[in-house]
């Protein structure tokens, strides 16, 4: 099967080295299993193999020929060694495929597990806290009528409070041809939609996305989530508002964070407040990563539903009272986990996302 070594009386030349290399490569292609590959190795690269013998005989040649043949033979050696390594891998692969088995010794490919986005996690956590207190979850449209986003909330056209929400208007007129539309600037329009659709008592929370035509910074995004809350029934007081929101904060932040209420103005509540949480401090450094100089971070607006809003949906404001609130879950996530920039939530950087 294998060529015999060149007879001693015939000196090798670069050409004869090439010819031997070609012959060897041809034979290697025909090799079909590991023992045959080993025979091939012995016959060319083994201790008495053709190429080995040739290299050993170089010293007997005259210097010019020795240099030329030596260089070619060394090249041939690495060519044959590489070809053998490749063929051995091919044979091993073919044997594995033929056996139909799995090579359990190979290192596994890591499977990257997906997970819920931190915003989704925090929205769900907040919703669960309120569901445990008897609220149900509803959702509403992100493209909203001016009517619900403003009018029904006691913010008529031209009302200066409209400046509180920089709006992204939709260049579209619906069938009636006169209803301006926008990307909702808050989830509060769902207060009116829910009350129109049902009689009291009402106890709902509304998670969803909102949009504002605003510059972004570490605590402001132009699109963000809000979670609206609304409870209307006979005899609801401001004490119920405070009790509910204290309980929410205790469930989400635990017992050791503080809460502060201050007076605030929103046209659809009276009285109106905002609620802040004591700023996050890094447990190891004691530093505040978010708004370093602030002791408090505002997380929501709230208040007692304005009688005009109740009357607008056909509820009797003499009989029914209620409270409403609207909070920013990303800010709550920031304060809970010490995230220093709200824009991380929308940057889709897996190094950030993986931490949750």
Q: Applying CB under 6 A, does 140 fall inside the site for ligand PHE?
A: no
CB of 144 to ligand PHE, least distance (A): 12
Q: Applying CB under 6 A, does 51 fall inside the site for ligand PHE?
A: no
Q: Which of 326, 329, 342, 344 binds ligand PHE (CB under 6 A)?
A: 326
Q: Which of 54, 302, 304, 339 binds ligand PHE (CB under 6 A)?
A: 302
Q: Applying CB under 6 A, does 325 fall inside the site for ligand PHE?
A: yes
Q: Applying CB under 6 A, does 248 fall inside the site for ligand PHE?
A: no
Q: Which lies closer to ligand PHE via its Cβ, residue 21 or residue 149?
A: 149
Q: Applying CB under 6 A, does 269 fall inside the site for ligand PHE?
A: yes
Q: Which lies closer to ligand PHE via its Cβ, residue 31 or residue 152?
A: 152
Part in contact with ligand PHE (CB under 6 A); list of ranges 55-63, 81-89, 112-120, 296-304: 296-304
Q: Which lies closer to ligand PHE via its Cβ, residue 122 or residue 302?
A: 302
* Catalytic annotation, residues: 165, 186, 212, 226, 269, 324
Q: Applying CB under 6 A, does 241 fall inside the site for ligand PHE?
A: no
Q: Applying CB under 6 A, does 324 fall inside the site for ligand PHE?
A: yes
Q: Which lies closer to ligand PHE via its Cβ, residue 228 or residue 344?
A: 228
Of 323, 321, 322, 341, nearest in space to 331 by CA = 341
User: For binding to ligand PHE (CB under 6 A), which residues are involved?
Assistant: 186, 188, 266, 269, 272, 301-303, 324-326
């Amino acid at each position: 099967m294998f060529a015999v070594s060149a007879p001693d009386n015939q000196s090798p030349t670069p050409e004869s080295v090439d010819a031997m290399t070609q012959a060897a490569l041809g034979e290697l292609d025909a090799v079909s299993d590991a023992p045959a590959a080993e025979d091939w190795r012995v016959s060319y690269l083994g201790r008495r193999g053709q190429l080995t013998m040739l290299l050993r005989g170089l010293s007997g040649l005259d210097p010019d020929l020795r240099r030329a043949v030596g260089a070619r033979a060394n090249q041939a050696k690495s060519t044959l060694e590489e070809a053998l390594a490749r063929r051995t891998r091919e044979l091993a692969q073919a044997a594995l495929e033929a056996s139909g088995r799995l090579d359990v010794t190979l290192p596994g490919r890591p499977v990257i597990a997906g997970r819920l986005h931190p915003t989704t996690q925090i929205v769900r956590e907040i919703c669960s806290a309120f569901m445990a207190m008897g609220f149900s979850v509803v959702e509403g449209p992100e493209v909203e009528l001016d009517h619900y986003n403003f009018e029904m909330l006691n913010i008529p056209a031209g009302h200066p409070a409209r400046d509180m929400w920089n709006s992204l208007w939709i260049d579209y007129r619906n069938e009636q041809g006169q209803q301006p539309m926008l990307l909702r600037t808050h989830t509060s329009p769902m207060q009116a939609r829910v009350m129109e659709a049902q009689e009291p008592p009402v106890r709902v929370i509304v998670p969803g996305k909102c949009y504002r035509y605003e510059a972004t910074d570490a605590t402001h995004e132009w699109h963000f989530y809000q979670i609206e809350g609304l409870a209307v029934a006979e005899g609801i007081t401001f004490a119920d508002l405070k009790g509910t929101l204290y309980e929410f904060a205790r469930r989400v932040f635990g017992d050791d964070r503080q809460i502060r209420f201050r007076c605030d103005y929103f046209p659809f509540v009276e009285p109106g407040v905002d609620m802040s949480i004591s700023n996050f401090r890094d447990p190891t450094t004691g530093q505040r990563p978010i708004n370093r100089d602030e002791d408090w971070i505002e997380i929501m607006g709230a208040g007692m539903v304005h009688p005009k809003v109740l009357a607008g949906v056909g509820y009797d404001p003499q009989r029914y009272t209620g409270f409403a609130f609207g909070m920013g879950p990303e800010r709550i996530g920031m304060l809970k986990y010490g995230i220093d920039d709200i824009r991380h939530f929308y940057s889709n950087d897996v190094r950030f996302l993986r931490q949750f």
